[in-house]
Structure 1
Amino acid sequence: MIERAAPGAFPAGTRGDDRRRHALRLYTEALALVVPADHELAELESLTTAELTGHLADGDVTLLDHPDHSAEWPAAEPWADPSWKPRDPAAALQLVAAGTGAILLPLPLARHLVAKREHAVLALHGEPELAQSTIWATWALDRDAADVQQLVGIMRGRTARSSRPGADTDAGTAPGQGTRKPKAGAGKPQPSSKKSGPKPGSRGAQLAASKKKPKHISRPKPKTQQKPRRRK
């Protein structure tokens, strides 16, 4: 399974005494601020975390609390009645479109859920960097067959030339340290890189032959003396 975990958290069942799944961290996700389409910041494509802090202090932006809002992010406004809290990010985005406030979400998730006519997504960057959510690959502890290990190796960045745990490995090498196979055609004589000449009898051969012939130097013919005409 591909799972998203909150900043600093791990997928369920991958830690502690009740561990029942393996977990491989793939990457972290950038964060985004989602505001209504008619908000004064909607024309921006990105925002620094320092600028976000300033807008929160000035009251230009109000963060709505929702289940995916991390405790490590800037504090969201608490709901007067906890039952008003949206049940998921999609429900929170409906409140954003109504002009109630803004929310923080992982950037890929925000781009996937928003409606372009109702929301604007501003990517967050700069210092101090906010904690990011993490994408994990998880699988059951008893699902460690060779095909799963090969897939895990690919996700870790191994190539077809390196061995993987559970796969065939070269004798005398540890998993992940397989020897490289020689390239196809290695050791065979390579064809000469020199270009062959034109085919005999072709127009190119005739032109090449004409260039090799020495140029003929024409010499002026000696002038002949004209015999005087006899008068009759």
Structure 2
Amino acid sequence: MTGPDVPPSFTLAYVPGVTPTKWVRIWNERSPDVPLVLVQVSAADAAATARDRAADAVLLRLPIDRTGLHAIPLYTETTVVVVPKDHVAAAADELSTDDIADDIVLHPLDDTLDWERPPGRPAISRPATTADAIQLVAAGIGLLVVPQSLARLHHRKDLTYRPLADAPESRVALSWPEDETTDLTEQLIGIIRGRTVNSTRGPAPTPAPAKPAADTRKPAPRTPRRPTPKTGKRGKPRRRA
């Protein structure tokens, strides 16, 4: 964030499971004088964090209410179902929603998957967070469908996960206020999209020194040399017989 008498910095908020480590490293290499401040926010608060300008930009999961916000989709996550290791579903390499139709499937309040109808049988109540739902799965109360990054974030030795083939997928996006696309925001977008320092939106490369023009003139014709008479041992012309 910037302002009068405040050194320039950039605040990047991110939701659980998203790991901006690589982008932070590149930012620090290119702009060591502008700190990139990381702030973790809940999925439920992510869009409001961008809209209220509590951060310069936010890495969040779609869908969101985009009113007043830019949102650039970055990548799509695999959707998985988290199960106890001794559950019958753990024996499969991949599952479908039909495979878990008879199971209780937990649907936490911070779920960001865009379900038309969640799979399985609903629990009596919805857990407040994904972390709470993980605890219930470990207790054998139900299964949980989440983006793979969240399954990794909440890894436990007694749980495992399998891809869920026909489930909605989570898309991670970079979001910021519509009227505040600053140079630092453009710089972050370039880093995330893999632009190099010398790309068109990065610093202009230093031009190489011009090579001297090649001399295209033809050399002047050489005057043929006149033959010299043959001489004897002492250099005098030989007499004719």
- TM-score normalized by the length of structure 1: 0.55
The 1-side partners of 2:73 and 2:184 are apart by 19
Distance 1:65 1:107 in 2: 16
Cα deviation, residue 187, structure 1: 5.7
> Does residue 109 of the first structure (1) align with residue 157 of the second (2)?
no
Greater share of strand: 2
Larger Rg belongs to:
1
**1:72, 1:130 within 8 Å by CA — same for their partners in 2?**
no
1:188-232: per-residue Cα shift (whole Å, max 9, x none)?
9xxxxxxxxxxxxxxxxxxxxxxxxxxxxxxxxxxxxxxxxxxxx
Match of 1:36 in 2: 84
Q: Are 2:133 and 1:92 aligned?
A: yes
Structure 1 consecutive aligned stretches of length 4 or more whose deviation exceeds 3 Å: 184-188
Identity of aligned residues (%): 33
Q: 1:120 to 1:90 in 2, by over 3 A?
A: same
Tell me if 1:132 matches 2:169: yes
Higher relative contact order (CA 8 A, sep 6+): 1
Q: Where in structure 2 are there 5+ consecutive unaligned residues?
A: 1-57, 213-241
In the alignment, is the contact (CA less than 8 A) between 2:83 and 2:160 conserved in 1?
Answer: yes
Which amino acid in structure 2 is aligned with residue 24 of structure 1?
A: I
Q: Confirm whether residue 121 of structure 1 aligns to residue 158 of structure 2.
A: no
Distance in structure 2 (CA, Å) of the matches to 1:95 and 1:186: 69
CA distance in structure 1 between the partners assigned to 2:118 and 2:73 by the alignment: 25
- Which amino acid in structure 2 is aligned with residue 22 of structure 1? H
In the aligned structure 1, how far is the partner of 2:108 from the partner of 2:195? 39
Letter of the structure 2 residue corresponding to residue 2 of structure 1: L
Q: What are structure 1's unaligned runs of at least 5 residues?
A: 170-179, 189-232
**CA distance, structure 1, for counterparts of residue 168 and residue 61 of structure 2:** 14
Corresponding position of 2:27: none
Q: TM-score under structure 2 normalisation? A: 0.54
Question: Which string of whole-angstrom CA distances, capped at 9 and with x for unpartnered residues, describes residues 14-34 of structure 1?
Answer: 33xxx1x32211111100110
